[in-house]
Amino acid sequence: MLNAHPFKDAISTISVGRKKLKIFKLAWLEDQGLTNISKLPYSIRVLVENILRNCDNYLVTEDDVKSIASWQPKPPLREIPYMPARVLLQDFTGVPCVVDLASMRDAVKRLGKDPKIINPLKPVDLVIDHSVQVDYFGTSYAFDWNVKREFELNKERYVLLKWAQNSFKNFRVVPPGTGIIHQVNLEYLSKVVQVENGFAFPDTLVGTDSHTTMINGIGVLGWGVGGIEAEAVMLGQPYYITIPEVIGVKLTGELPEGATATDLVLTVTNILRKKGVVEKFVEFFGPGVSKLPIADRATIANMAPEYGATCGFFPIDEETINYLKLTGRENIAKIVETYAKEQGLFRYDDSPFPEYTDIVEIDLSQIEPTLAGPSRPQDKVLLREIKSQFEKILKENYKVNEEPKKTVEILYRGQKNELTHGSVVIAAITSCTNTSNPTVLIGAGILAKKAVEKGLTTKPYVKTSLAPGSRVVTEYLQQSGLMPYLEALGFHLVGYGCTTCIGNSGPLPEPVSKAITENNLVVCAVLSGNRNFEARVHPLVKANYLASPILVVAYALAGKINIDFNTEPIGYDPNGNPVYLKDIWPTQNEIKETINKVLNSKLFKKKYADVFEGNNYWKEIPITEGELFDWDPNSTYIQNPPFFENLTLEPEPPKDITNAYCLGVFGDSITTDHISPAGSISENSPAGKYLIERGVPKSEFNTFGARRGAHEVMIRGTFGNVRLKNLLLPGVEGGWTIHIPTGEKMSIYDAAMRYKQENRPLIIIAGKEYGTGSSRDWAAKGTYLLGVKAVIAESFERIHRSNLVGMGVLPLQFKEGENRETLGLTGFEEYTIEGIAENLYPQKTLKVTAKSNDGSIKTFEVIARLDTPVEVEYYVNGGIMQTVLRKLLKNSK
């Protein structure tokens, strides 16, 4: 087969010790006059190698190779087929992928073919890290009890995952209680350079979590995609991307005393959001890069979705090699170093700077303590300005103008405490961004130690938690002697997983939640996460601030957000003396000395030796045999979805959309958090009512995330966010709409089902940046199952647009300068969209007719955001999965 490779002459050999490995040599392309490697951004060099190596003149053509090899800072609008080496899943998004694969096997069986043709064709790792919830906290037994509760609630899902591990080839599962997916990927799963069939090549991946970009911190190209696209990659299909622009971020200087990687990344997020880097690669270069350890680079790379970029790439360099050795991967460090240097993928301090589309400069020495909030990660606020900022948003955002401010007395843990606007009720060291960065975690431990030694305690009404990224963290916190001080302040281990940052913060103590609800208090959460969208962290907590773990501990001590740490004491010692934040703040030297004492490769080797084994709860889950999954018709966790019910070998021709009604009309920045079901399930919601009808008690509801394998639950929670504003109902928040024929107010789910009975197609109208946020497949799946045929918006976020296409929902974009307001649309019209049925092609202009009750008609044009011929094929087939399944069926014997 290699003899037939169009670029077989590019194959060369490298020697690593006694081992000889083949490579597709990038310099060969340069010799042919097809590229100038040293001028290409490092991230583009990885793409060039990927497309060169996978060229087969079928999925990947010679023109694809030439087009990426000749990359220019202002590339032409062209799609290329990218073939990632592997796929990474977390359990929230991974369970639906496995459910779909199992359902595809059923469909294949129904059509008389062998179900075993459905298998991941690329290596897949699924890390179970999204199911643990902070039900218990502040005690030494919190971890054990949360884990026990996790298994009680999620056993049905874990039975499916164990079946998949046993039944599918190329599929591994990292059990619960091991770590956060991105940290496990960074510390263990990634090899940086893969070796397969005698060939060495860069590790590349896509993941079903948008923060897959964390791996960019060690020079591995990877980013988040929808579960739908991940399934296609698993099944051997390319992931199509537009040749990207690359924004170079030049880092100079080094972080000053008192500043952390979190402060830096929140600054980067703010700057790059303003710059506008959506659908672009971001690559870091300059002398400041050498001043950042891998943990800091990974923190910055992690938040690429927050600054809007496809990736936030740091090239391989000496620091990468040292990190591989530190994390127990000495055996691959030499391969990585040899390969990267041979291929021009290794960054030296004196390497010439590549050419970039544009350059942003950031001086690390100017970074100072920073938070982001109250509801978006890009809303940077300096620590020294947080008090005045909160007082301002209290009046402007939350319309609180009380003088004097309302205070509510509560009795909790036998003590009287006062809650008011600005009280911090959640302080969580959580999320993949920071919870394995030793600098900020050791820093948090040192601050805790100094605080305890000063006699300070956290406020009793603050729900404190520590959910580290990996088991290595608790090991080094214990070895450093800092864990007892964190525990003294209530920061006990609650689980290894993504907790508060994804809404798994668990319930607030009853007296606290009662006081908030009855008095409409604007209370706060401070978390070391990357997401703080409205109602995400906890439905009762309106203001959420992202901060470093060090500041999380500080705010737990202060108990309020509206404090000026420069002038006000964080607390008082037992003798009545004021203690200021500067008195307990850790120095860089203290942090470095501690890290040098406790961090070594033995630690990583020990903790990852049994990474796939799991605890006793996991081992006790029975393994079910068989090529087909045994669906339980009574399950409210795992259900056979309807996506392939009526699948035929040939798709029906596409049709125009006629006489559609609006299910919802939305403004700007509708996120996937607004669309996709997440967090806890309310008993009065359509999903809660469904579970109650099925005999599920409220105590067993679990979260939407845990029930992502149950389409009947998920469809009822789509567009159910309590902060969603549907402009068909001005002044109303939540998942409500108007059933247009009758004028009745009802839940979006109930209206959608009524429309389905009436055989009425549906559309959604929205503003700018529709679908920003995590790469959530259910934001698209739920939209599809509600009967929505098209979404008309001013602009779309990259992942969500492609996910809509992947589910057969048509994304349509208003023409430049036009929107709902300029066109005078109310959303109560009947909409007909013409131009779909005949000669559909990428970015075709379609005609929309909006007919009002009074008979008046408006017409306007929209652009079909099917950006490539492949996306047109997906849409015609009804989605990515149907396209892939039909191809597999046609190619099978």
According to the model, what pLDDT value does residue 406 have?
A: 87
Q: For residue range 760-776, what is the model confidence (pLDDT) as tens digits?
A: 999 999 999 999 876 57
Burial state string for 343-376 with b = 16 or more CB within 10 A and e = fewer than 16: bbbbbeeeeeebbbbeebebebeebebbbbbbbb
107 SS3 class: helix
Q: What is the mean pLDDT of residues 409-431?
A: 93
Sign (positive/negative) of CA torsion 280, 283, 286, 290? positive
Helix or strand or coil: residue 862?
strand
The pLDDT of residue 98: 94
Say whether 652-676+718-891 and 86-366 share the same fold: no
Strand locations in 349-459 (E)? 358-363, 370-372, 380-382, 407-412, 415-420, 424-429
- Per-residue pLDDT band for 811 (boundaries 50, 70, 90) equals very high
More confident residue, 106 or 404: 106
**Confidence (pLDDT) at 197:** 94
In sequence order, the 6+-apart residues with CB closer than 8 A to the CB of 573 are 454, 455, 456, 579
Question: Does 2 have pLDDT greater than 70?
Answer: no
**How confident is the model at residue 222, as a pLDDT?**
97
- Give the tens place of pLDDT for each residue, 24-67: 999 999 999 999 999 999 999 999 999 999 999 888 999 999 99
Please report the pLDDT score of residue 892 as a whole number. Answer: 78
Candidate from 394-408, 434-448, 609-623, 791-805 with smallest mean pLDDT: 394-408
Is the pLDDT at 408 greater than 80? The verdict is yes
Report which of 833, 812, 824 is spatially closest to residue 661, judged by C-alpha positions. Answer: 833
H or E stretch at 308: none
SS3 string of 659-710? Answer: EEEEEEECCCCCEHHHHCCCCECCCCCHHHHHHHHCCCCHHHCCECHHHCCC
Residue ranges of the alpha helices (H) in 454-537?
471-479, 483-488, 510-519
Higher pLDDT, 754 or 156: 754
CA distance 857 to 343: 61
C-alpha 635 chain-centroid distance: 27
End-to-end CA distance of the chain: 22
Task: Indicate the pLDDT class of residue 347, thresholds 50, 70 and 90.
Answer: very high
> Does 677 sit behind a cis peptide bond, omega within 30 degrees of 0 on the bond before it?
no
- Give the number of other CB atoms < 10 A from CB of residue 232: 24
Asked if pLDDT for residue 624 goes beyond 80, the answer is no
Alpha carbon distance 867, 242 (integer Å): 9
CA–CA separation, 324 vs 313, rounded Å? Answer: 17
Which carries the bigger pLDDT value, residue 103 or residue 58?
103
Using CB atoms within 10 A of its CB, is residue 319 exposed (0-12), middle (13-18) or buried (19+)?
buried
Residue 189 CB-half CA count within 13 A: 32
Report the C-alpha gap between 621 and 616 in whole angstroms.
9
Contact by Cβ (8 Å): 181, 209: yes
DSSP 824: T
Lowest mean pLDDT among 447-461, 578-592, 609-623, 716-730: 609-623
Residue 402, pLDDT above cutoff 80: no
Q: Lowest-confidence range among 151-155, 170-174, 400-404, 689-693?
A: 400-404
Indicate whether 1 pLDDT > 60: no
| Tokens read off for 233 | 């990659």
Q: CB within 8 A of 147, min separation 6: which ones?
A: 132, 176, 177, 495, 615, 617
| Confidence (pLDDT) at 14 | 97
Q: According to the per-residue pLDDT averaged within each range, which of 488-502, 580-594, 764-778 is highest? A: 580-594
Instruction: State the pLDDT at residue 860.
Output: 98
Q: Label residue 313 by pLDDT band (50, 70, 90).
A: very high
The structural domains of the chain, with segments of one domain joined by +, span 2-82, 86-366, 370-599, 652-676+718-891
CA separation for the pair 117, 108 (Å, rounded) = 8
Residue range 625-652: mean pLDDT, rounded:
92
Q: What is the pLDDT of residue 775?
A: 59
Contact call for residues 280 and 309 (beta carbons, < 8 A): yes
Q: What gap in Å lies between CA 504 and CA 135, rounded to an integer?
A: 9
What mean pLDDT do residues 585-605 have? 95
Compute the Cα dihedral for 121, 122, 127, 130 and give only its sign.
negative
User: Does 778 score more than 80 pLDDT?
Assistant: yes
Written as six digits, the tokens of 251 are: 């880092």
Q: What is the mean pLDDT of the chain?
A: 94
Distance (Å) of CA 2 to CA 23, 85, 236: 12, 18, 18
Q: What homologous superfamily is domain 652-676+718-891 in, according to CATH?
A: Aconitase, domain 4 (3.20.19.10)
Residue 108 to residue 893: CA distance in whole angstroms: 12
Render 434-453 in DSSP notation, one character per residue: TTT-HHHHHHHHHHHHHHHH
Give the DSSP letter string of 258-286. T--HHHHHHHHHHHHHHH--TT-EEEEES
The CATH topology of domain 370-599 is: Aconitase; domain 3 (3.30.499)
β-strand pairing of 744-747 with 736-739? antiparallel
Q: How many C-beta neighbours within 10 Å does residue 77 have?
A: 10
Q: How far is CA 642 from CA 38, 102, 180, 687, 761, in A?
A: 50, 12, 31, 18, 18
Output the pTM of the full model: 0.86
Q: In this structure, are residues 462 and 491 in contact, taking their beta carbons and an 8 Å threshold? A: no
Whole-angstrom Cα distance, residue 728 to residue 744? Answer: 11
Handedness of CA 710, 716, 722, 727 (dihedral sign): positive
Structure tokens at 34: 């097809």
Handedness of CA 549, 554, 560, 561 (dihedral sign): negative
Can you say whether the dihedral through the CA atoms of 591, 594, 597, 600 is positive or negative?
negative
CATH class in words for 86-366:
alpha beta
How confident is the model at residue 893, as a pLDDT? 64
Q: What is the pLDDT of residues 684-731, one digit of tens each?
A: 999 999 999 999 999 889 888 788 899 999 999 999 998 899 999 999
pLDDT of residue 774: 67
* Number of alpha carbons in the 13 Å side-chain half-sphere of residue 734: 13
The 10s digit of each residue's pLDDT in 373-394 is 999 999 999 999 999 999 999 9
Each residue's pLDDT tens digit, 440-479: 999 999 999 999 999 999 999 999 999 999 999 999 999 9
pLDDT band at 799 (very low <50, low <70, confident <90, very high): confident
Q: Is the peptide bond before 404 cis (omega within 30 degrees of 0)?
A: yes
* Tokens read off for 604: 């990583």
Whole-number Å distance between alpha carbons of 143 and 411: 26
Counted residue by residue, the chain has a size of 893
Nearest Cα to 665, choosing from 721, 730, 726? 726
